[in-house]
Structure 1
Amino acid sequence: MVTVIFSTHNGERTLPRMLEAFCALEFPQGGWKIIAIDNASTDGTSEVLRNYQHRLPLVLLFQPKSGKNASLNMALPHVEGDLVIFTDDDVLPDAGWLTTLLRTAECKPEYDVFAGAIIPEWPK
């Protein structure tokens, strides 16, 4: 089991692209879940997240206190599995992102933290 965690504040515009990319991910053996924390959004963030619950293994939380740390800490009691991946609400991962991280963690059990290349996609 892999748990992916991200916090979002007013992510109504960026979340659909990210969540579509998540729908295209290779699913890891053993399953996965996504903990998405709406951090005091005032736009349509909650509705966007709810619209993806039928396509993704989403656990939705709401954190009324502003601040990313408060949101991420709220997710910790909901973690399952041996690998926890923290990410942002605007990533566009490659299809093999989860399975590569899981394989790497299995091959390198002495490591606790992994990171990868970040290639920005600047708006025009």
Structure 2
Amino acid sequence: MKQEQVFFSIIIPTYNRPEQLATCLGAIAHLDYPRDRFEVIVVDDGSHTPIEPVVAPFRQQLDITLITQSNAGPATARNKGAVKAKGELLVFTDDDCTPAPDWLNALANHFTTSPNGLIGGRAINALPDNLFSTASQLLIDYLYNYYNTHPNQATFFASNNFALAKETFHHLGGFDTTFPLAAGEDREWCDRWLNYGYRMIYAPKAQVYHAHHLTLRRFWRQHFNYGRGAFHFHQLRAKRNLDKMKVEPFSFYSNLLIYPFSQPSKQPSLLLALLLFLSQVANVVGFFWEQSAQTVNLNSQGSKTACN
């Protein structure tokens, strides 16, 4: 695949974040990549206020399409955007991310040698003064270091920064839309991708800046929901008759807690370590909460069937 022939379709799901979306589109409008070699597809996932006023100012600068849907989650939104995509390569990011100017060039360079790969870039915390946003991004950084030790044999990417061939995306059926929340569908996608025998390549020079503003309450809810998504992910793997996920060794968690002390940050390392511990507690609570909720639901359905 020659770099000059690459045509990207950038797909952005959005929901009730007009200001962040405007910042994201502003960064895309300044990408160092030929304007006739990429398009932008914004999928409004049922926002309370119209998104067209946010998109309209960029129509003179970008080949941009706005799609609207009733609220169904980012997985459905991404799939809908992929159906409309004209590009041979799909690039996924989120409305609270701002790509670096050389983002598409960095991705294109990897596709010249790995046209059938899933290319995952790096996310950088855009809110270093926010303790909870810093801790959340630090966890992602740790996971990337752990699961992507060998860049050409990566195993996990977040869906706010990766790219792949459109044909392969549709061949694998797109994102799984059965996840109850926006948590875990990217993990399931990576697992399914690898199960089909495709490669994942980590491209740390393909960078986006992630501005996910968090409070303590939102931090807990985020990781609680990740736990709920993890339970659903395990269920899906069981339905596909795949081996059970291996439990990470104790060293995974001990190294996670000391990780903040080795990373430069404006925030106190001890507080970051405590928040990483809290994230794992929230994850476990969310996992078993979802398991209990689904058990109650199945018992309720069973009782109704018996009565009928």
Give TM class, smaller chain.
0.7 to 0.9
Distance (whole Å) between structure 1 residues aligned to residue 52 and residue 65 of structure 2: 12
What is the TM-score with the length of structure 2 in the denominator?
0.38
The corresponding residue for 1:80 is: 86
Q: Is 1:36 aligned with 2:48?
A: no
Distance (whole Å) between structure 1 residues aligned to residue 82 and residue 122 of structure 2: 25
Shift of 1:113: 0.8
SS in structure 1 opposite 2:16? coil
SS in structure 1 opposite 2:105? helix
Within-5 A mapping of 1:1-124? 1-28=7-34, 31-109=37-115, 111-122=116-127, 124=129
The corresponding residue for 2:181 is: none
Q: Is the 8 A contact 2:39 2:64 kept in 1?
A: yes
Structure 1's 105 and 55: CA in aligned 2 closer, same or farther, altered over 3 A? same
Bigger Rg, which one: 2
Aligned residue identity for 1:49: V
Aligned residue identity for 1:121: A
SS in structure 2 opposite 1:13? helix
Distance (whole Å) between structure 2 residues aligned to residue 115 and residue 58 of structure 1: 23
With CA pairs under 8 Å and 6+ residues apart, which has the higher RCO, 1 or 2?
1
SS in structure 2 opposite 1:114? strand
Q: Which runs of 5+ in 2 are unaligned?
A: 1-6, 130-308
Q: Is the 8 A contact 1:6 1:89 kept in 2?
A: yes
Alignment coverage as a number of residue pairs: 123
SS in structure 2 opposite 1:117? strand
Distance (whole Å) between structure 1 residues aligned to residue 91 and residue 29 of structure 2: 16
SS in structure 2 opposite 1:26? coil
Shift of 1:47: 1.3
Distance (whole Å) between structure 2 residues aligned to residue 28 and residue 106 of structure 1: 17
The corresponding residue for 2:238 is: none
Q: Is the 8 A contact 2:35 2:62 kept in 1?
A: no
Aligned residue identity for 1:120: N
The alignment-based identity, stated in percent, is: 26
Q: Which runs of 5+ in 1 are unaligned?
A: none
SS in structure 2 opposite 1:35? strand
Aligned residue identity for 1:15: L
Higher share of residues assigned helix: 2
Structure 1's 30 and 47: CA in aligned 2 closer, same or farther, altered over 3 A? closer
Q: Is the 8 A contact 2:41 2:67 kept in 1?
A: yes
